[in-house]
Amino acid sequence: MNIASRLNKNPYWQMSLTSWLSLQRMPAYSLPTLLFPIMFYAFFGLVMARGYAQPMMITFSCFGVLGTAMFAFGIGAATERAQGWWLLLRAAPMPLSAMLTGKLVAVMAFSLLIILGIAWLAALFGDVRLTTVQWLALFVVLLAGAIPFSLLGLALGLWLSPNAAPGVINLIYLPLAFLSGLWIPVSQLPGPLQGLAEWLPPYHLAGLALHFTGTQSGPWVLHIGVLLLFTALCAGLVALSWRRFQGS
């Protein structure tokens, strides 16, 4: 049996390809998800704050990953659950892990496109220069960072209706991005809000990426610890949401 035949029979490969095509064929998701972080970086990072091209390249990439993960899993899960797709999956022989892995692979693929687009602008117009190791560290950290926010989106999608999901996720996603310093540096936020950033996971994801690219020193062990704790909490929320869904 050749490689193509094996892949076609592999449920993880099938769901990864299906999830990628599904997101790609939804312009209401794919276009804003891909273009908004890149456009915002071009305006804020390259035009409005030229001296911050490198750190803002990282924070806006983090912003793109955050939105990609939460919307793909949150709105996607809410819509598919309402359409009966999740009930069908419960009765189908395909493992649930294959569906979740496929969605995560699609999210990471979209996230990689955003990171590459912002990095290209930063290198071409912002004169950002990183070593090969630093570029790889940026990609690995941010793509791994999609995991906890995908879990958060999934937990929300299992609880919310398709009509409520976009509004609720926006109410969480946009303040998280702003208060974590993904749009403007935390030092430029009002005083009472600056201390709040340290309690927010996106702040630590951006801080970890800033550290491993040599852009900014920081307590990287603390960043990793907070992100691991957040991942565990989100996994627990998913387990509770899934138990509720199975009982419905």
Residue 199 binned pLDDT confidence (cut-offs 50, 70, 90): very high
Please tell me what DSSP assigns to residue 94: S
Residue 93 binned pLDDT confidence (cut-offs 50, 70, 90): low
Q: Which two tokens stand for residue 190?
A: 């009002």
Q: Name the residue with higher pLDDT: 2 or 165.
A: 165
pLDDT of residue 172: 94
- Dihedral, CA atoms, 71, 74, 78, 79, nearest 10 degrees? 20
Inform me whether the pLDDT recorded for 34 exceeds 60.
yes
Q: Which two tokens stand for residue 147?
A: 């995991």
Averaged pLDDT for residues 84-112: 79
Tell me the C-alpha distance between 136 and 179, whole Å.
27
Tell me the C-alpha distance between 47 and 42, whole Å.
7
Listed residue (198, 203, 212) closest to 181, CA to CA: 203
Residue 193 binned pLDDT confidence (cut-offs 50, 70, 90): confident
Q: Name the residue with higher pLDDT: 198 or 82.
A: 198
pLDDT, averaged across the chain: 86
Is the sign of the CA dihedral 195, 198, 202, 208 positive or negative?
positive
pLDDT of residue 12: 74
Q: What percent of the chain has pLDDT over 90?
A: 50
The model carries a pTM of: 0.89
Residue 161 binned pLDDT confidence (cut-offs 50, 70, 90): confident
Q: Which residues fall within 8 angstroms of residue 8, CB to CB, at 6 or more apart? A: 14
Q: Which two tokens stand for residue 10?
A: 């592999």
Inform me whether the pLDDT recorded for 156 exceeds 60.
yes
pLDDT digits 0-9 by tens, 6-20 = 545 677 777 778 777
Averaged pLDDT for residues 71-77: 86
**∠ at Cα 156 (193, 243), nearest 5°?**
135
Averaged pLDDT for residues 61-90: 84
Is the sign of the CA dihedral 195, 201, 203, 204 positive or negative?
positive
